[in-house]
Structure 1
Amino acid sequence: MSFISSLRPGGRHGLSSRESRDAIGLAVAAVGRLAQSDLIDRVGLRKRAEQAVYSTTRNGFRVATAAGRTFARAGRNTPGARPASAASRGVFDLAPTDDEAMLLEVVRDLAAEVVRPAAAAADEACSPPAGVLTAAQDLGLATLGVPEELGGIMDERSATAGALVAEALAHGDMGLAVATLAPGAVATAIGLWGTDAQQQTYLPAFTGGSGAVPVAALTIAEPTVLFDPFDLATTAVRDGDGFVLDGLKSAVVRGADAELFVVAAMLEGTPALFLVESGADGLEVEADPSMGVRAAGMSRLHLTGVRIGADALLGDTDGTAYTECVRLSRLAWCALAVGTGQAVLDYVKPYVNEREAFGEPISHRQSVAFMVADMAIEVQAMRLLTWKAASRATRGQDHAREVGLARQLCAEKGMRIGLDGVQLLGGHGFVKEHPVERWYRDLRAVGVMEGAVLV
């Protein structure tokens, strides 16, 4: 595995296992230096910028999408590739591999030292700070699901690593985790289902290391009651040698800044995925601040007669790739729920042990102790189901049942963990001085969100 190549002079490809460990050690040291520098001060939004962004999101906006970069379509002869499935070890073992454990250590440092300190301001501003996005980009997270031969950082299918990263980032803040993982969702989709031409056109922008990773968004959700991802209102109609897209998508991460979208639409009665560049005519973005996951900068994407070429179809037309996309997205949201649920648990345990009522800690009350114990049991159950589903996806095995079970448990118990966290803090759970109210709002999103992230 070649890891965090941007921190290693001389290129991004071909690290041996020992070189990978050396690179990971450098990454850990880099994060340590990062925490000691003034970056944490810089990732917080300044008061004037906060006010401007807050006013914009509060009042709403609707503008044309950003022009974005020009993705080169010629001059590259590199063949495409698919991530290889990991071999089964023949035993029931959900423990992360050595490489995954080292990756997890680095991301945990990032979440604790950079993400969490910036979370409250980002939630209020409905926008992720540039410093947080840059720090995540420097770790190469956008290439986690890209095949190594195309510039990625993993030599095998990385659903497990993706779930571990999502969980660790969400322990810092779910909204910022979604914002940092969104470009990687698009890169992963292209790595899994893109043609050779699509991979040659778009993946170099994510893996080239010569500039900022493109702002990109995977858009599946729509603003309809009881939304069904397999019965979309957005349509794709064949027109000559291309398609015309019409519809409205919601929960689009950083839509106003996005340069590339993966849009889900119905094609001849079957859902499919399409690559749409932000410069296409007929695209408009509208602010859509939500109850939770506000730091991700959610918006709506209006598609009105958007013409795209035949080469914009991502994957197949029988719904196989789309179904897999929905499952892997739901799995990612489960991992985010696990990380946020663990954050709630880690916060309330010392609180109930230190908070006194009637001359003793409130944790001495059975009702409080049992509530904390239930939270710990539920977080662990959520984690095991999510890891099992990710493990099966990593090995290329059918994981539909496991993802369904994990989503059901994480949606129900995640929301309950957030509610119990607020309850345990009493009046403190209702105010923004403590982060539990924000985590509760974020956890409510798990059962209703589709798309945006992918493992």
Structure 2
Amino acid sequence: MSVADRSMGLGLRALGKFAGSDLVDKLGIRKQSEAVVYRATRDGFRAVGAANRTFKQVQRNGKQPARLKPSGSGIFDLTPTDEQAMLAEAFRDFAAERLRPNALKADEAAAAPKELLAEANELGLTMLGVPEELGGAVSERSAVTTVLAAEALAHGDMGLAVAALAPAGVATALSLWGDAQQQGTYLPALLEDEPAVAAFAVAEPRALFDPFELQTTARIDGADYVLSGVKALVPRASEAELLIVAARIAGHGPGLFLVETKADGVLAKPAPGMGVRAGGFGEVLLEDVRVAAGALLGDGSPKVYAEAIRRARLGWCALSVGAGKAALDYVIPYVNERVAFGEPISHRQSVAFAVSNIAIELEGMRLATLRAAARADADKEFGREVALARHLCSEKGAAIGSEAVQLLGGHGYIKEHPVERWYRDLRAVGVAEGALLV
């Protein structure tokens, strides 16, 4: 950190303390002091949408939006189809050959290399949830396929997986709930060889955040909505061109809005956290951002909003399964090769039980996630299943990361071994909301 950065930080803290003191009220300058702190904080954000992509509506025959049909035969079977197995294998190969070797540098830089994301785009990630008639690759809804893809990519690195999958989540949302005009305007840009950078912005920078109790607001002003608030944990925030923003509509409840980041009042700043750093997380400030009434996704339906939150949580569950499997696959050869007191440490009962517990919990996480995804694909209620999967993946995922560090002893604490990164990444599953969607 530079001297200038430290000075700015000290100055902001001093301003904050002054604005919160009783002296401000005694002097009668409360409004002026709060304005100074607000302007100082706002200066940390910068305009987004540097690419200046123009979203143009593509006319289609017929005015009805395209929708994917429910999938599944009605028989409970989580065995991947041949096509799903082939896709998962391709994603696993890419994760092993390209994501894993670049994960440490991306983590340190708190950003995904652009050339690596371009290679990931060649896998057709944004097409996985888009109907064939709109340029996608599927004819039926398949959250299971996206879950398998997310799991495979996270086996390479969770942060890079988030960066690669974020635009695909927006494309899926448009396919599920967008009207014909929204699909015609935004989907073509998301299906290009160099797709628009997009993300699902739900979380807000406060403790105990609840996605159904939003502080970001959307007030009606004539024929438009005016959005105000701050969003956190937005992947690739500094380069995003399109966001799906969760906001509370006055007198209605939470809704989702399509927001082009080149609009006036949209500012962003990097805000990397403890883990998933390669996702390029940042905060987005919405300062009286005006959007047309047609920007509201799914007509503001509470069912659409609830389903979007559940599908995002499923995405994080899939990521946790992939990262947890990576930890297991790393720990097993380590404990078999690490010799202490004349024998491999895996011969110790406590070590063997710890490794087997990781495998047991991981299997439960994976099955719970796939069951919830399969119910979503079959157009059945899946709220309970998502809640169970998220509880398992957040609690047991964090425990798996911690146990992996413990099994490596001192080696688990240094960056020479990737388990410390997986531990940090897995901790995010319990607090993250939005960012991606399956």
- With normalisation by structure 2, the TM-score equals 0.88
The aligned amino acid for 1:106 is: A
Contact 1:217 1:252 in 2 (8 A): yes
Contact 2:59 2:184 in 1 (8 A): no
- The list of structure 1 runs, each at least 4 consecutive aligned residues, that deviate by more than 6 angstroms after superposition, is none
1:204-256 Cα shifts (integer Å, max 9, x gaps): 1122x4x4100001100001110000000000001111100000000011111
Query: Is residue 85 of structure 1 aligned with residue 85 of structure 2?
Result: no
Match of 2:181 among 185, 194, 197: 197
1:296 corresponding residue in structure 2? 279
The aligned amino acid for 1:291 is: M
Match of 2:159 among 160, 175, 178: 175
1:266 corresponding residue in structure 2? 248
Match of 1:357 among 340, 348, 351: 340
Secondary structure (helix, strand or coil) at the match of 2:299 reads coil
Unaligned runs of 5+ in 1: 1-50
Q: Distance in 2 between matches of 1:146 and 1:220?
A: 22
2:228 corresponding residue in structure 1? 246
Q: Distance in 1 between matches of 2:408 and 2:255?
A: 45
Contact 2:45 2:285 in 1 (8 A): no
Query: Is residue 235 of structure 1 aligned with residue 220 of structure 2?
Result: no
The aligned amino acid for 1:88 is: S
The aligned amino acid for 1:83 is: L
Contact 1:61 1:287 in 2 (8 A): no
Matched ranges for 1:104-123 at <5 A: 104-123=88-107
| Cα 1:78–1:433 shift into 2, 3 Å | farther
Match of 1:316 among 291, 299, 302: 299
The aligned amino acid for 1:413 is: K
1:381 corresponding residue in structure 2? 364
Match of 2:81 among 87, 93, 97: 97
Q: Distance in 2 between matches of 1:319 and 1:168?
A: 32
Q: Distance in 2 between matches of 1:335 and 1:76?
A: 35
1:287 corresponding residue in structure 2? 270
Contact 2:200 2:436 in 1 (8 A): yes
| Cα 1:74–1:423 shift into 2, 3 Å | closer
| Cα 1:288–1:78 shift into 2, 3 Å | farther
Secondary structure (helix, strand or coil) at the match of 2:53 reads coil
Match of 1:135 among 112, 119, 125: 119
Secondary structure (helix, strand or coil) at the match of 1:444 reads helix
1:336-381 Cα shifts (integer Å, max 9, x gaps): 0000000000000000000011010001111100000100000001
1:151 corresponding residue in structure 2? 135
Match of 1:220 among 185, 197, 202: 202
Q: Distance in 1 between matches of 2:59 and 2:217?
A: 33
Secondary structure (helix, strand or coil) at the match of 1:452 reads coil
Q: Distance in 1 between matches of 2:59 and 2:400?
A: 52
Query: Is residue 256 of structure 1 aligned with residue 238 of structure 2?
Result: yes
Q: Distance in 1 between matches of 2:184 and 2:82?
A: 31
Query: Is residue 341 of structure 1 aligned with residue 333 of structure 2?
Result: no
1:24-65 Cα shifts (integer Å, max 9, x gaps): xxxxxxxxxxxxxxxxxxxxxxxxxxx99xx9xxx9952111
Larger Rg: 2
Q: Distance in 1 between matches of 2:314 and 2:301?
A: 22
Contact 1:219 1:250 in 2 (8 A): yes
1:186 corresponding residue in structure 2? 170
Q: Distance in 2 between matches of 1:438 and 1:166?
A: 18
Query: Is residue 400 of structure 1 aligned with residue 392 of structure 2?
Result: no
Q: Distance in 2 between matches of 1:105 and 1:420?
A: 27
Which stretch has the larger CA shift, 256-265 or 63-72? 63-72
Q: Distance in 2 between matches of 1:323 and 1:198?
A: 20
1:9 corresponding residue in structure 2? none
Q: CA deviation at 1:87?
A: 3.4
1:306 corresponding residue in structure 2? 289
2:56 corresponding residue in structure 1? 72
Contact 1:78 1:200 in 2 (8 A): no
Q: CA deviation at 1:93?
A: 1.3
Match of 1:440 among 423, 427, 430: 423
Q: Distance in 2 between matches of 1:75 and 1:200?
A: 6
The aligned amino acid for 1:70 is: T
Q: Distance in 1 between matches of 2:310 and 2:246?
A: 14
Number of aligned pairs? Answer: 398
Contact 1:142 1:183 in 2 (8 A): yes
Contact 2:49 2:262 in 1 (8 A): yes
Query: Is residue 278 of structure 1 aligned with residue 261 of structure 2?
Result: yes
Q: CA deviation at 1:76?
A: 4.5
CA RMSD between the two structures = 1.7
Query: Identity of counterpart residues, as a percentage?
Result: 58
Q: Distance in 1 between matches of 2:411 and 2:204?
A: 35
1:165 corresponding residue in structure 2? 149
Unaligned runs of 5+ in 2: 10-42
- With normalisation by structure 1, the TM-score equals 0.85
1:265-310 Cα shifts (integer Å, max 9, x gaps): 0012410000000110001101101000000000000001000001
Q: CA deviation at 1:155?
A: 1.4
Contact 2:254 2:302 in 1 (8 A): yes
Secondary structure (helix, strand or coil) at the match of 1:181 reads helix
